[in-house]
Structure 1
Amino acid sequence: MHARADGQGRHLGFVLTGGEASDDQAVDELVALPVSNPRLMLADKGYDGDNVRTSLLMKGILPVIPPRANRKETIACDFRAYRDRNRIERMFNRLKQSRRIATRYDKTALSFLGFLQLAAIRIWLPSFVNRSYPFLGRDED
């Protein structure tokens, strides 16, 4: 399960790959999601690769990915920006509070993705509740 999130740690889209598939295979699909292009891509070491970095740079996205330990040449990483990745980890934690996602009960990828989207909607809802009617809950004189 790969996710794209906004700066607040809210889900913008998901990409499912097999458990044995490399993380860097999902990067192109994550960037192609129909939302605005990000300035940075915060990702863990599983996404580190020369092809991923060049692909992101060609699209105008700065990769903030720490280098793998077995990398021959050293690559700089903005660890100050990388600290914001904890929002993404907290996003996955909130998703996995749904038992069905944490244990992956669904047999097909389509049904798992559907429930994943329902869990994401549940997380997004507090951002929209009572935004349009700020006067609700106040007593009128």
Structure 2
Amino acid sequence: MGRGDLTDAEWERLRPFLPVSNGRCGRWRDHRQVINGILHSVRTGVQWRDLPERFGLWKTVYERHRLWSGDGTWERLLQQVQAAADAEDEIDWDISVDSAIVRAHQHAAGARRSAAGTGFKGGRGGGTPGRDTVAEPRRPPGGGGAGGEGLGRSRGGFTTKLHLSADGRCRPLSLIVTPVQRADCTQFITVLEKIRVPRRGPGRPRVKPDSLSADKAYSNGPVREYLRRQGIRHTIPEKSDSQVARMRKGSRGGRPPGFDEDRYKKRNTVERAINRLKQSRAIATRYDKRGYVFLGTATAASVVIWLRT
């Protein structure tokens, strides 16, 4: 077993939830070998063609990662390991929300599009030079497809923004990918509504945290109104301009929002979750051309964090 490969215990936790057939090529085999190859690429950032031979054909590893990123398999695996932790009461539901900026490598640019701008050359291909173009799987929400594959322009060039929520033990609960210019507050509701931890047994999945903390980027009326409507206790500092405008109105400005300094100190958990994710070089720097594949890469790294924490 190589460094970073799944241990026997980790494999047994994932094995029951893996698909057994893709509907075209019969029964899948060697899931463990392929997953180890995917995790090796995520951890090291190595190009798919340069994967060590012990993982099998590089194209098999890449295509399965691409397919699982598109059909939601990685997201379901993340939910199942979260469900196992929730069944043991190991999730701290005092969550935090933030975003991380990820510099995109030049290889992440240039996903091929058709002349009409709606499809992709050769059907709906993976857009990876030197790889066969195959039918594209359904993309899950949050892949950044409409926003130029989740790529935006910043002073440093092509950049991606990864929005996420994390529990009180620094583990990602939900993730979405957008271009860098998307404001954090515009993605807040989407990030929260992607939290979905199934129950082991009867009952609806858990979707609502006990409390939430976020920085000033999320301090606006729609965010606070949504949290009040959902009955979620929250700690978000008030922006200075909002405070000045409220005080200018006098009694008509209303009361200042509540703020718990001790609770706000726990917001660093989401920063530490981001640091854990960026220990994987394929997340610290984005190499994936397609937004939904990069989201699958981040989700696969999150699965490992949950398995090993």
- TM-score, scaled relative to structure 1: 0.82
Q: Deviations over 1:31-64 (max 9, x none)?
A: 2122320121211111110110011110011221
**Which residue identity does 1:123 align to in structure 2?**
I
Name the counterpart of 1:48: 219
Shift of 1:17: 2.1
**Which residue identity does 1:43 align to in structure 2?**
A
Task: Pick the structure with greater CA Rg.
Answer: 2
Query: How much identity, in percent, do the aligned residues show?
Result: 38
Q: Is residue 31 of structure 1 aligned with residue 192 of structure 2? A: yes
What are the within-5 Å matches in structure 2 for residues 108-123 of structure 1?
108-123=290-305
Distance (Å, rounded) in 1 between the aligned partners of 2:292 and 2:175: 12
Q: Deviations over 1:44-88 (max 9, x none)?
A: 111110110011110011221112232223533211101011111
**Which residue identity does 1:3 align to in structure 2?**
L
Distance (Å, rounded) in 2 between the aligned partners of 1:76 and 1:90: 25
Q: Which has the higher contact order (CA 8 A, sep 6+)?
A: 2
Gaps of 5+ in 2: 1-161, 198-205, 247-255
Distance (Å, rounded) in 1 between the aligned partners of 2:285 and 2:189: 27
Which deviates more from structure 2 when the two are superposed, residues 35-44 or residues 116-125?
35-44
- How many residues of Structure 1 are paired with residues of Structure 2 in the alignment? 127
Report if aligned partners of 2:167, 2:269 keep a CA contact under 8 Å in 1.
no
Q: Secondary structure at the match of 2:165?
A: strand
Distance (Å, rounded) in 2 between the aligned partners of 1:118 and 1:31: 19
Report if aligned partners of 2:210, 2:233 keep a CA contact under 8 Å in 1.
yes
Q: Deviations over 1:100-140 (max 9, x none)?
A: 1111222221111010011111211124xxxxxxxxxxxxx
**Which residue identity does 2:265 align to in structure 1?**
R
Q: Is residue 13 of structure 1 aligned with residue 169 of structure 2? A: no
- TM-score, scaled relative to structure 2: 0.39
What are the within-5 Å matches in structure 2 for residues 91-110 of structure 1?
91-110=273-292
Distance (Å, rounded) in 2 between the aligned partners of 1:31 and 1:111: 21
Which structure 1 residue ranges, 4+ long, deviate > 3 Å from structure 2?
A: none
Distance (Å, rounded) in 1 between the aligned partners of 2:241 and 2:287: 35
Report if aligned partners of 2:165, 2:191 keep a CA contact under 8 Å in 1.
yes
- Given the alignment, which residue of 70, 80, 84 partners 2:241? 70
Gaps of 5+ in 1: 128-141
Q: Is residue 80 of structure 1 aligned with residue 241 of structure 2? A: no
Report if aligned partners of 1:42, 1:64 keep a CA contact under 8 Å in 2.
yes
**Which residue identity does 1:100 align to in structure 2?**
A
Which deviates more from structure 2 when the two are superposed, residues 54-63 or residues 99-108?
99-108
**Which residue identity does 1:77 align to in structure 2?**
F
Q: Secondary structure at the match of 1:9?
A: coil
**Which residue identity does 1:90 align to in structure 2?**
R
**Which residue identity does 1:62 align to in structure 2?**
R
Name the counterpart of 2:228: 57
Q: Is residue 126 of structure 1 aligned with residue 308 of structure 2? A: yes
Q: Secondary structure at the match of 1:17?
A: strand
Shift of 1:24: 1.0
